[in-house]
């Protein structure tokens, strides 16, 4: 009993720094934001700040714009990343080797620098517009629009998602694929019945991280996005820093956290089911 008690106490001591750090950086600020978001204009407590998010026309447009950009970005990122991971896993040659050596490069370029590069490339007088001008091609508006934000999200998130999915696909035994081929299974059936189920957990992890990264992004939406509607991160900064409405900004932060929590709930639920199935 004394040995078990000493081990328990020592375990608590070891985890206490991480717990205290989590408490100070995450739990307490979230709690303060929730309390602040409930303060109304008269100093009382109600849900008027949250009601404003859905009754104000501009705020509703910002929410719908954020969700639209996030869904499109996640779908494109995962489609491209999964395709790249599959190609690198089941193909060989110079192109596959070249992709394997270069797809991680965007991770090492700071976000501000990458955004500035996209502005110079895709702007009305950028490099691409100057290259297409002699051909008589008028480049459509790309930046200062949702298209610019989506392109930036692809640049930022494809390398990370590809890295996760590549690791998952590398862990699938080649014998499973060969056995399926031996019994006459086609490529689509092999993917749907073997490859995707075996990599689904990592796919869900990639989706969770990409979703949270896009919905809470600021740099690219601020520099490449339109003035209206805005992503919630940009709108939150203006409400907090320009209009000094701290309570309304807190309500926006809590609402964004709840949106992320929805996907987090499904991820945790799926992981819990998997663990209970093993037991």
What's the pLDDT score for residue 278? 59
Distances (CA, A) of 106 to 101, 113, 207: 12, 11, 19
What's the pLDDT score for residue 1? 57
In the chain (279 residues long), the average pLDDT of successive 10-residue segments reads 75 86 87 92 91 94 95 96 93 88 90 90 84 83 89 94 93 86 84 89 91 92 91 93 91 91 81 65
What's the pLDDT score for residue 123? 83
Domain ranges (residues) in the chain: 57-278
CA 224 to chain centre: 17
Give me the CATH code for the 57-278 domain, please.
1.10.3720.10
Comparing CA positions, the residue from 264, 203, 227 lying closest to residue 148 is 227
Give residue for tokens 């040659």.
93
Which parts of 56-185 fold into alpha helices (H)?
57-90, 94-102, 111-122, 127-132, 146-170, 174-182
Entry pTM: 0.87
What token pair was written down for 270?
A: 């799926």
What's the pLDDT score for residue 161? 95
What token pair was written down for 121?
A: 């490339």
Please classify residue 126 by burial: count the beta carbons closer than 10 Å to its beta carbon, then call 0-12 exposed, 13-18 middle and 19+ buried.
middle
What's the pLDDT score for residue 36? 93
What's the pLDDT score for residue 277? 59
- What are the φ/ψ torsions at residue 50 (nearest 5 degrees)? -75, -35
Q: How many CB atoms lie within 10 A of CB 197?
A: 12
């Amino acid at each position: 009993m004394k040995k078990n008690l000493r081990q328990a106490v020592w375990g608590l001591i070891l985890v206490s720094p991480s717990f205290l750090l989590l408490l100070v950086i995450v739990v307490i600020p979230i709690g303060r934001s929730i309390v602040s978001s409930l303060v109304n204009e008269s100093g009382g407590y109600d849900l008027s700040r949250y009601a404003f998010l859905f009754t104000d026309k501009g705020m509703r447009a910002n929410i719908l714009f954020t969700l639209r950009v996030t869904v499109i970005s996640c779908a494109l990122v995962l489609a491209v990343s999964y395709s790249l991971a599959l190609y690198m896993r089941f193909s060989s040659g110079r192109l596959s080797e070249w992709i394997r050596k270069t797809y991680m490069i965007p991770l090492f370029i700071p976000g501000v620098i990458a955004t500035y590069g996209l502005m110079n490339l895709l702007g009305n007088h950028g490099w691409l517009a100057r290259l297409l001008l002699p051909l008589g091609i008028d480049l459509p508006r790309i930046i200062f629009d949702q298209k610019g934000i989506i392109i930036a999200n692809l640049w930022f998130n494809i390398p990370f998602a590809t890295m996760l999915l590549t690791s998952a696909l590398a862990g699938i035994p080649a014998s499973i694929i060969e056995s399926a081929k031996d019994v006459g299974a086609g490529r689509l059936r092999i993917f749907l019945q073997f490859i995707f189920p075996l990599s689904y957990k990592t796919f869900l992890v990639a989706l969770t991280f990409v979703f949270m990264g896009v919905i809470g992004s600021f740099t690219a939406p601020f520099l490449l996005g339109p003035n209206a509607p805005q992503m919630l991160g940009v709108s939150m900064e203006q409400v907090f820093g320009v209009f000094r409405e701290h309570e309304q900004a807190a309500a926006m932060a809590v609402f964004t956290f709840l949106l992320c929590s929805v996907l987090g709930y499904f991820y945790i639920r799926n992981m819990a089911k998997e663990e209970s199935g093993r037991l």
